[in-house]
């Protein structure tokens, strides 16, 4: 029987034929693609012809085309719609991929060809993009151990294989803890909950096969429950389950896994000649070194903590007024903060959500992209991996630009959070290859026939991930390995966080924030109050984020901790973490840094990028038009289309003329008065 993953695709825009792909197809397809990639790499390394940019660097770009196609399809589906078979295959595939990568980077004949080109680079007449790709390729090989030999090379291979296995296990343990817990709600548990939350709990109960409504550990359910439930006992129960993910003992406990990951990362860095993993990891980022990251975090921490502590005193008085003695607890903060917001800003989120329909917010993000970059979005009928997925063709002036896919609703088979990925990346080496971009979110799914309603934070998440999507869609480089979001980790969040600002443009909300029942636009006074409250509770949000970023940094500096939980406690004590606020991501469920290498020693990057995004949006404000075509064209030319073909700082400087300071960030978060 023909494996559809290995045959030509006749679907619209060469999308994966999801209607023909079965779980049993993935394993054989990955093995075949790995064999093909190995043969291609061997052919490049062992050829008799002297090295040239074309027969070495460009040849490497295409060596894993089939493998990339199969893996992007597999991981795109496995992350958003997991099954036991897919989870088992992920555990099986991770060490295979690690072994393949280790073989490539340890291939001395291949590296010798790269090194020859590097030494002769001045005589090669390379374009700027080619010179950049050569530098990045050589640097990647060196940082992956190409210069190691003998027992050191063998040990690095063992470390990378083990890390791949541990990262996969960490993420799957977290998904299991989230999937297996639910809290049934009787009539008393539903009291006081807004209709949208009661409906979402009912839908969750139906999906779980429960007898009635339930609260699960999907953020789209547990966060609003903590925000609205007057039942302090149930809030405490739900909060305890939420923060204990990955730390419940038994097979899904992630604490020992985290310790082993940190130890192996440190050993890896030492083998490569670095003092610690943070120094190794940050060498290629905009920050450059751990000291720069720590200084940024401390500059923000002090005013954020001051603002949060002042807010906490107000919320504690509200708690006591309700007849509860003792301190304000973490499961109290969101509830009393919401009550305070209603009082001070006259904003009821339940009423607000009626104006923030998912379909309308999708239309809003598309319309902003049209006005800024001339993009049009047309629905496409094609096979999908889950019925909730929607597909659009993206065009500009009638020409195909990309395919955009959206998978928006939470379900037990989807890992938590929100992310952007590609099923195909932009490149020109093998023809004008346009990307297939997937945004995945975890919004509460409404009962059938009812519109999906978002919180303002949900709507920001939607715009955030679409900003990543635009970075992929508007990419215009020759080589896939430096296209789209293949940039420094502390630069990759700039396009996503920048795009959030268009949600705050009044004319956007005036057009698209319409009532789900009446179709009437959001009242002007409500719109003004909502925008005025955009920085409400920012002390809390900043403290929980910075605490996580600082713990991540300290985990990877110096000797790794034998007990990460103890180290976490020490870092938080040194910071003076307020009692009623916890880290946004505690160690056992800190998937950003333990499910893979991506954000390890790099969780700070959201804030580093935020320093730029606040300043970047000011470029539009300075000319008095959030849709100024000249500024938008400059943004696309410098930041959005260049991928990793130019150093990140040079791209930003080309857009704004200089790098910004932390002041723009503090002002954007409303913390400048607390500084």
Q: What is the pLDDT of residues 27-62, one digit of tens each?
A: 999 999 999 999 999 999 999 999 999 999 999 999
Find the DSSP H helices in 272-414. 277-282, 290-321, 330-345, 349-353, 358-373
CA–CA separation, 648 vs 492, rounded Å? Answer: 9
The SS3 call for residue 568 is helix
What pLDDT score does 496 carry? 97
Contact in structure between 659 and 616 (CB atoms under 8 Å): no
379: which strand partners? 392
Nearest to 286 by CA among 590, 424, 57, 492: 492
Query: Chain centroid to CA 536: how far?
Result: 24
Dihedral over Cα of 116, 122, 125, 127: its sign: positive
Contact in structure between 518 and 340 (CB atoms under 8 Å): no
CA–CA separation, 117 vs 123, rounded Å? Answer: 9
The predicted model gives 328-353 an average pLDDT of: 91
pLDDT(674) > 90: no
Same domain membership, residue 127 and residue 51: yes
Nearest to 407 by CA among 383, 386, 380, 377: 386
Cβ neighbours of residue 41 closer than 8 Å, sequence gap 6 or more? 60, 63, 103, 104, 107, 110
Q: What is the pLDDT of residues 119-149, one digit of tens each?
A: 999 999 999 999 999 999 999 999 999 999 9
What pLDDT score does 667 carry? 84
Q: What is the pLDDT of residues 359-387, one digit of tens each?
A: 999 999 999 999 999 999 999 999 999 99
Same domain membership, residue 190 and residue 136: no
Same domain membership, residue 305 and residue 225: no
The full length of the chain comes to: 675
Residue 587 resides in a domain: yes
Same domain membership, residue 241 and residue 131: no
Q: Which of 126, 147, 168 is the last residue of a domain?
A: 147
Kind plus residue range of the DSSP H or E element containing 138 = helix 128-143
Residue 161 resides in a domain: no
Torsion of CA 390, 395, 401, 406, to 10 degrees: -10
Residue 60 resides in a domain: yes
Same domain membership, residue 654 and residue 560: yes
CA–CA separation, 384 vs 20, rounded Å? Answer: 10
The predicted model gives 286-295 an average pLDDT of: 95
pLDDT(116) > 80: yes
Same domain membership, residue 209 and residue 86: no
Cβ neighbours of residue 2 closer than 8 Å, sequence gap 6 or more? none
CA–CA separation, 440 vs 462, rounded Å? Answer: 9
Same domain membership, residue 668 and residue 540: yes
Cβ neighbours of residue 654 closer than 8 Å, sequence gap 6 or more? 638, 646
CA–CA separation, 457 vs 187, rounded Å? Answer: 28
**Residue-range definition of the domain harbouring residue 120:** 12-147
The predicted model gives 468-477 an average pLDDT of: 98
CA–CA separation, 332 vs 316, rounded Å? Answer: 9
What CATH number is attached to the domain comprising 319?
1.10.1370.10
Phi-psi region of 183 (alpha: psi -120 to 50; beta: other; left: phi over 0): beta
The predicted model gives 242-267 an average pLDDT of: 97
Cβ neighbours of residue 646 closer than 8 Å, sequence gap 6 or more? 128, 132, 654
Q: What is the pLDDT of residues 447-460, one digit of tens each?
A: 888 999 999 999 99
The SS3 call for residue 604 is coil
Give 119: exposed, middle or buried? Use CB within 10 Å, 0-12, 13-18, 19+: exposed
376: which strand partners? 395
The predicted model gives 106-121 an average pLDDT of: 97
SS (H, E, C) 17-67: CCCCCCHHHHHHHHHHHHHHHHHHHHHHHHCCCCCCHHHHHHHHHHCCHHH
The predicted model gives 619-636 an average pLDDT of: 97
Regarding predicted confidence, which is higher, 361 or 350? 361
Angle CA 580–583–586, to nearest 5: 125
Tokens read off for 650: 């040079």
Same domain membership, residue 71 and residue 129: yes
Entry pTM: 0.92
Same domain membership, residue 192 and residue 106: no
467-471, long-range: CB < 8 A, 24+ apart? 467/495, 467/496, 467/497, 467/498, 467/499, 467/500, 468/420, 468/439, 468/492, 468/495, 468/496, 469/404, 469/420, 469/437, 469/439, 470/369, 470/373, 470/495, 470/499, 470/640, 471/495, 471/496, 471/640
Where residue 589 falls among pLDDT bands split at 50, 70, 90?
A: very high
> What positions carry a catalytic annotation?
465
Q: What is the pLDDT of residues 220-232, one digit of tens each?
A: 899 999 999 999 9
Where residue 412 falls among pLDDT bands split at 50, 70, 90?
A: confident
The predicted model gives 229-243 an average pLDDT of: 96
What pLDDT score does 254 carry? 97
CA–CA separation, 268 vs 417, rounded Å? Answer: 29
pLDDT(297) > 80: yes
Nearest to 362 by CA among 418, 419, 408: 408
CA–CA separation, 414 vs 506, rounded Å? Answer: 34
Tokens read off for 575: 């910071």
The SS3 call for residue 379 is strand
pLDDT(236) > 80: yes
CA–CA separation, 426 vs 402, rounded Å? Answer: 9
Percent of the chain topping pLDDT 70: 100
Same domain membership, residue 637 and residue 576: yes
Q: What is the pLDDT of residues 299-313, one digit of tens each?
A: 999 999 999 999 999
What CATH number is attached to the domain comprising 131?
1.20.1050.40
Residue 490 resides in a domain: no
Tokens read off for 6: 């290995």
What pLDDT score does 415 carry? 86
CA–CA separation, 314 vs 580, rounded Å? Answer: 12
What pLDDT score does 675 carry? 58
Longest dimension (CA), the chain: 83
Q: How many CA atoms lie within 13 A of 371 on its CB side?
A: 15
CA–CA separation, 454 vs 171, rounded Å? Answer: 26
pLDDT(1) > 80: no
Residue 170 resides in a domain: no
* Eight-state DSSP code of residue 251: G
Q: How many CA atoms lie within 13 A of 424 on its CB side?
A: 21
Same domain membership, residue 670 and residue 540: yes
Residue 664 resides in a domain: yes
Q: Which of 95, 122, 147 is the last residue of a domain?
A: 147
> What mean pLDDT is reported for the chain?
95
Cβ neighbours of residue 94 closer than 8 Å, sequence gap 6 or more? 164, 165, 167, 168
CA–CA separation, 202 vs 209, rounded Å? Answer: 10
CA–CA separation, 406 vs 359, rounded Å? Answer: 11
Give the chain's domain count: 3
Dihedral over Cα of 412, 415, 417, 422: its sign: negative
Residue 38 resides in a domain: yes
Residue 172 resides in a domain: no
Same domain membership, residue 216 and residue 86: no
CA–CA separation, 77 vs 254, rounded Å? Answer: 24
């Amino acid at each position: 029987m023909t494996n559809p993953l290995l045959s030509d695709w006749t679907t619209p825009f060469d999308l994966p034929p999801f209607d023909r792909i079965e779980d049993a197809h993935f394993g054989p397809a990955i093995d075949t693609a790995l064999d093909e990639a190995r043969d291609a790499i061997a052919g490049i390394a062992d050829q008799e012809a002297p090295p040239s940019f074309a027969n070495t660097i460009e040849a490497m770009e295409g060596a894993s085309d089939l493998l990339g196609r199969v893996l992007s399809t597999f991981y795109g589906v496995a992350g958003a719609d997991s099954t036991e078979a897919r989870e088992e295959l992920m555990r099986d595939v991770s060490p295979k991929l690690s072994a393949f990568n280790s073989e490539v980077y340890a291939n001395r004949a291949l590296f010798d060809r790269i090194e020859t080109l590097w030494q002769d680079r001045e005589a090669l007449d390379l374009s700027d993009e080619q010179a950049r790709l050569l530098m990045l390729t050589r640097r990647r090989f060196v940082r992956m151990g190409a210069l190691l030999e003998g027992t050191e090379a063998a040990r690095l291979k063992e470390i990378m294989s083990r890390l791949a296995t541990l990262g996969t296990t960490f993420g799957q343990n977290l998904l299991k803890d989230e999937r297996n817990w639910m809290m049934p709600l009787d009539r008393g548990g539903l009291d006081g909950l807004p209709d949208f939350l009661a409906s979402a709990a009912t839908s969750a109960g139906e999906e779980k096969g429960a007898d009635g409504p339930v609260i699960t550990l999907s953020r789209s359910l547990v966060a609003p429950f903590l925000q609205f439930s007057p039942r302090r006992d149930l809030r405490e129960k739900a909060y305890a389950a939420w923060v204990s993910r990955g730390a419940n003992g038994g097979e899904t406990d992630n604490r020992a896994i985290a310790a082993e990951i940190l130890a192996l990362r440190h050993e890896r860095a030492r083998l490569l000649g670095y003092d610690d993993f943070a120094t190794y990891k940050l060498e290629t980022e905009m920050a450059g070194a751990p000291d720069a990251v720590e200084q940024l975090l401390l500059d923000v921490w002090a005013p954020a903590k001051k603002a949060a502590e002042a807010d906490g005193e107000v919320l504690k008085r509200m708690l006591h007024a309700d007849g509860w003695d003792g301190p304000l607890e973490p499961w109290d903060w969101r509830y009393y903060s919401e009550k305070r917001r209603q009082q001070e800003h006259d904003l009821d989120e339940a009423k607000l959500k009626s104006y923030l329909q998912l379909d309308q917010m999708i239309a809003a993000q598309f319309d902003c992209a049209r006005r800024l970059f001339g993009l049009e979005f047309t629905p496409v009928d094609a096979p999908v991996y889950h019925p909730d997925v929607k597909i659009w063709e993206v065009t500009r002036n009638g020409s195909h630009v990309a395919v955009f896919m959206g998978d928006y609703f939470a379900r037990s088979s989807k890992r938590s959070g929100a992310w952007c990925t590609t099923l195909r990346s932009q490149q020109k080496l093998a023809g004008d290859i346009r990307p297939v971009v997937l945004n995945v979110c975890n919004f509460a799914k409404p009962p059938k026939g009812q519109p999906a309603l978002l919180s303002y934070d949900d709507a920001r998440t939607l715009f955030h991930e679409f900003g990543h999507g635009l970075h992929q869609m508007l990419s215009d480089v020759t080589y896939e390995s430096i296209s789209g979001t293949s940039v420094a980790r502390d630069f990759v969040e700039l396009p996503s966080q920048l795009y959030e600002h268009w949600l705050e443009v009044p004319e956007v909300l005036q057009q698209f924030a319409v009532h789900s029942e009446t179709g009437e636009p959001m009242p002007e006074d409500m719109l003004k109050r909502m925008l005025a409250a955009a920085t409400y509770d920012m002390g809390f949000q900043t403290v929980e984020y910075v605490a996580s970023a600082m713990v991540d940094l300290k985990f990877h500096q110096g000797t790794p901790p034998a007990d990460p939980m103890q180290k976490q406690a020490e870092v938080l004590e040194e910071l003076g973490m307020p009692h009623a606020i916890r880290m946004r991501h505690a160690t056992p469920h800190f998937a950003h840094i333990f499910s893979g290498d991506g954000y390890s020693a790099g969780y700070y990057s959201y804030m580093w990028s935020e320093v730029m995004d606040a300043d970047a949006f000011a470029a539009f404000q300075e000319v008095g038009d959030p849709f100024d075509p000249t500024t938008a064209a400059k943004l696309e030319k410098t930041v959005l289309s260049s991928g990793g073909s130019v150093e990140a700082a040079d791209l930003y400087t080309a857009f704004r003329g200089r790098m910004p300071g932390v002041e723009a960030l503090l002002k954007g978060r409303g913390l400048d008065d607390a500084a």
